[in-house]
Each structure stands twice: as C-alpha cells, then as structure tokens.
Structure 1
Amino acid sequence: MMRRSIRPICCGYSNRCDFLMTDFIYAPPDAAPVILHEDHELVFVDKPAGLLSVPGKGAHMADCLIARLRGVFPEILLVHRLDLDTSGVMVFARTPHAQRHLGLQFEKRQTRKTYIARVAGQVQARSGHVDLPLTVDWPNRPRQMVCHDTGRSAQTDWALMRHEDTGSRLRLMPVTGRSHQLRVHMLAIGHPILGDPLYACGAARAYPRLMLHAKELRLRHPDGGRGVTISAPVPF
C-alpha cells in the first residue's frame, strides 16, 4: 500500500490556514525571566510565551531568553529550545562540561519532559501513544507535517487530565523531540492545541496564546549525576 505525506490541515476547505508568517509581528513580553533554580553548573528558567529562546533573523528579533539571561549569567550556554509560543521550563548550562553532559542526555533521550496542553474537543480515551514521523512542510514552512516516507521518527505519550468547557486538558510526554511535535501530533489525532496560530483555526485559534506549557523537566545533574526535577506553574 502506498504511503504518503500528510500536511496538517487546520480546516476542511484548504491545506493552508489563513494565518501567514508575513502577518507576524514579534512583540515579546517585557517581564524579566523567572529563575526557577540556579547553581554552579545549571540555570533553570520559566520561559514566557511569546519570547524566542534564541535570536531570530534580523535585529528586530534579537531580544530573546538567552540574551536576557546573559545580562545576569554572561557565561550561559544553550542546551535546548522551546517554541516561541510555548512557555515553561528550560535549562541552560553555565560551563562547557554541563553543556556537553546535558546535550548527551537530550540526544540519548535520558531526560523526561512533561507538558500541559489544552486541546479542542472532548478527548474520549484516557491515554494514548502517537507514533507518526515528521518532516518540514516546505511550501508552508515553518509548519511540519506527517510523512511516512521521509519523516523522522516522532513519538508522544499523552494522558487525559480532565474535560473542560472548551475542550480537554492533557498531560503530554514526548518520547522524541522533533520540531512542533506536540502540536502536529495533537492535530493528527483530531484535537489541535487551543490558540495555535499554525495548526488550529476558527474558535480553536481564538485564544491569546498557545495553550502549551512545559510543566516539568527531569534530568541528571552534570556534577555527580543526581536526579533533578524542576517544574513551573501552569499559567492557564
């Protein structure tokens, strides 16, 4: 049987949403980053929605989380990223050793990340597993899409927390860490994340922000290997 690529479709009439990246205006929040934990090797931060993790293209997108942190921690080094629209726990390294140590943990899938999401519709199952490979949707980038031919393996575990008036609240546990993975996987099972400007449309998009938050991050400390778990309160 022929396998094919599946672009994320936000409505039943077109494979293009009416949102265009040319409409985007970068207006990051003014609030200072909230430091959740710091020590001689690591800094954990609660990234706000709307702020880039690293600089974008052009001077108008230079303001970002790592740039703000360098005002306090000049030596800080990048380990991983969160999408512009996603809030929650990020970890940064303060030494090259810590950066290498954490980089290997992320590469070998030894970290554990838990996200909270509000999604459209009443999810019926109590839990599930999504195993759909992803690749960039070049004609519509930065969107990603499911592609069984050229996509990279992407897996997400999820659990229903409760039903809400506007949808359902889920706990998402990504096994892999592909770009837009949680957003495309939720759309693929018929429940786009509320407020998503790329993959939701209509009433599901009419929210002030993407309803996706990196709630908790578990990893091994680069100094001695002890387990560390840091969480950030859910803002929605």
Structure 2
Amino acid sequence: MPTPSAPSAPVADGGLFCELYWGTSLAEAWSYGPELGQVHAAPDETAPLPLYGFTLPEEPFLLAERTPRGWRIHVPPSARVEKSLKGDAFHPVGPEELTGAPGRAAVELREGMTLRLVEGELRLLVQPSVVKERAGRFRVRDVAWLITVAILFLSAPVAFLTMGPDPARLAANNARALQVAHDKEEARRKAMGLDQPLKPLTEAERATQKQDGGARVNVPASFGVR
C-alpha cells in the first residue's frame, strides 16, 4: 500500500510569491512572508511591489490582502485575470468567482492555484508561497560557528610560518647538495686523468728541449735576404 504524501500547509499559513513576465521573459520576482497583511503595488522602486506597465486606479494600489482563508487578490481595472490549478493550463476566471464592484474586482487565491494578471505584454503571476515563517535570526551557536571559521582562516598563515622549514635544516641541505656536486666533479676529473698533479721537468728533459731546434735546412750561398 503506497504511503500517502504529506498534505501541504494551508494557503492561510503561507506567504505570497509573485513573478512579473514581459512576454515569455521573467523580469522580476518577489516573495512576501506570512507576517504581512497587505501587499501594495506602484510604479515605484520603493514600493513593496514595484509594478510598471499596469493601469492602477491609485498609487499605491492594494494588490493583495490576507484573509482568514488565505489571500484576496485585487485585479487592476484594465487587466484580465486567469487561473491555473496545480500546474494546469491557464483559463479565464469566471464572473462567479469575482467579487467586488466593476473596476474593483477581486478573486480568492486558493490552495494549489496560480493567478495570472495580464495587461498588454505584461503578465503578473501570483501564487501561495512555500515560505511558512520568516528566517530566524542568528543564534548563539551560529555566531560561535562563524567565529571558529574566522579563527581557523586567520591562523593558517601563522601556522605556516611557525611550522615551516627550519633555517638550520635548509642550510644543512644546501651544504649537502654542494658536497654531492663536488664529489661528482672529482670523479669526472679522475676518469679523465686530470686528478694527478703535473711533474716538474728533469735537467735532462730541459736540455733535450733546448737542443731540439727542429730540422736543419741548408740555404744556398746565392740566397739573400733583404
């Protein structure tokens, strides 16, 4: 027997999520927590919902207000309203679902419903938010965790300096490398026979070098040099 999925929280307990599309391109998105009782819109960046391109009867315009059953969405007078249930295709909202006087129509936002307000190329999608509560402030445990991370991050360079290579060990390693290079050079000179010092010449060898003036050449008597 399959286990039934947990039911989602009622729309009255959640917030509100809005997306503004220009054609098929998403332009802006806003999320409002359940602590808000009303959401006002205006063509102003300082408004809770900066809404441009829609004809609003006044500024700011009450776009949404909380009710005991959830949210009531007020429709701008020049916009048409469509709905989608649980991801189905959008279709117009029937007159029987609208409340209020002409030009001041409103529709109840129910669980699993997405409303789409359309005016020209603009489309404002409104649906219940999955946010059930505001994000809590930092707790003491969170602050302590951040402080610990900061200490570890700042202590890394100090640990590198204190636990790095010993200067005396570096000097010993350099001396050892120089000795190895010297030994290799001596072995190379020995293999070439260059490791023996030169012997001084004897008196006989010196006399031989002095007498050796090269081959004798006979010059004719008629040969003259200027």
Instruction: Please give the range of the TM-score, normalised by the shorter of the 2 chains.
Output: under 0.3
TM-score by length of 1: 0.22
Q: TM-score, normalised by structure 2?
A: 0.22
- Identify the structure with the greater helix proportion: 2
